[in-house]
Amino acid sequence: MAKKFRAAVIGGSGYGGAELIRRLLIHPEVSLERVASVDFVGESLSAAHPNLEGLTPLKFENLAPEKAAEGMDVVLLGLPHKIAATKVPEILKTGTRIVDLSGDFRLKDARSYERYYGQKHPSAELLEQFVYGLPELNREKIRTAKYVASPGCFATTIELGLLPLAKAGLLAGAREVAGITGSSGAGVIPTATTHHPTRSVNLRTYKPLEHQHIPEIAETLTQAGAKNLQLRFVPISAPLARGIFATAFAHIDGDVTRDRLAVAFAETYHQEPFVRVPNKRLPEVAAVSGSNFVEVGFALADETDQDGRRTVACFSVTDNLIKGGAGQAIQSMNLMLGLDERLTLEDPGSWP
C-alpha cells in the first residue's frame, strides 16, 4: 500500500541522520525517498549506519539540496550549523516543507546569531518564516507551519524543565543551569576532547556561560512567560554515549509551596504524550535513553533565603539524539503533515 507522503533527508550520514532514517523507514504514512550526503556517496545506508543493514535499498546520493527536495512533501535537514542557512534559500524554491535540525533558524534575533555562532546570518530575512519546533509550546503553530526550526538538545531539555515555572509566572531574572551531555552530541568525527579514550574517563566543561543554546532558551522561555530572564548556563561533557541531564536553579517567593509547583508541572504536561513527571523518583537518563520521552521533576528547599525567597531545583532529562534531535524533528514533521504526532516515536527505549 502506497504511503501518503514523500520525504528526503539531507545530511544523513551522522548520528542524527541515523535516527531520522530509522524512524522514517518504519513510518506508516511517510516514505523515505532520498538520503543526500557528501560522505559514503553511492554506498548503502548501512555503510554509515550498520543497524540499517538489509532494511532498505536506498543509497547515499551526492545531490544539491534543491535536487534532493524536488517532488518531496517534506525535507529534513541534518546539515551543520552555518551550512544549512546557505542551502535553505535554494530548497525554498521547490515549495516543500522543511524541518531544519541545525541552529541556523531557531533565533529571531540576527544579532544573537552573530554573537553566538560567530558570523552574520547569511539568510537573516528568512528567520521570521521559521516556527520554533517545540511541540509542548508551539504545537498549533507547527501544525500550520511550512518551515520549522527544530530545537537544540540542551535547549529542549532545559526549556522543558523550566517551562512550568515560566507559565506560572515564577521564572524571572538571572537563573543558573548545569547540563551534562553524552558524547554523541559532538557528532561522528572525534576530536581531542570527544575521543573515547579521553571522554570515557573524564568530566569537563566547555563553552561555559557562552553556549549557543543560551539565546534560544531565553527566547523560548520568555515567550512562555518568563520575565527579564538571564540564563547562566554551564555545559559539561560526560562519559555517556547518549543522554542529557539538566539541573536548573530558580529562586521563588517563600510562600510558594511544593503543592503549587506540583500543580504547575501537572497542568503543563498532563496531556503531553512525551513528557513524564515521575511520581516516586526523580528523572534519570537511563529511563529515557533510546526514546523520544522526557522526564522532568523538581526539589524545593525547606528554608527560605535571607531575602525571604526559596530555591527550587528543576531536573530534566532527554536522549539528545531523539527528543533532543531527530525524534523531535519527526514529531514536528508529523504535526506539519496532519498526522498523529506520536507516529514511530512511542517506543520506550531500553532499560538500563
What are the beta bridge partners of residue 300?
A: 312
Q: What 8-state DSSP symbol labels residue 79?
A: P
317 close to 295: Cβ distance less than 8 angstroms: yes
Dist. CA 71–CA 47, nearest whole Å: 26
Sheet holding 5-10, edge to edge: 60-61, 30-36, 5-10, 74-77, 97-100, 147-149, 131-132
Residues 6 or more apart in contact with residue 307 via CB below 8 angstroms = none
Grid look-up 554523541 returns: 184
Q: Could you confirm whether 314 is annotated as catalytic? A: no
Q: Is 41 helix (H, G, I), strand (E, B) or coil?
A: coil
Residues 6 or more apart in contact with residue 172 via CB below 8 angstroms = 226, 227, 228, 229
Reported as half-sphere exposure (CB side, CA atoms, 13 A), residue 315 has a value of: 14
Strands 244-253 and 131-132: unpaired
What does the block give as the cell for 265? Answer: 508541572
Dist. CA 39–CA 80, nearest whole Å: 14
Mind giving me the DSSP string for 180-220? EE-GGGG-SS--TTTSHHHHTT--EE-STTT-TTHHHHHHH
Candidates 20, 91, 98, 153; catalytic one: 153
Would you name the residues annotated as active-site residues?
A: 153
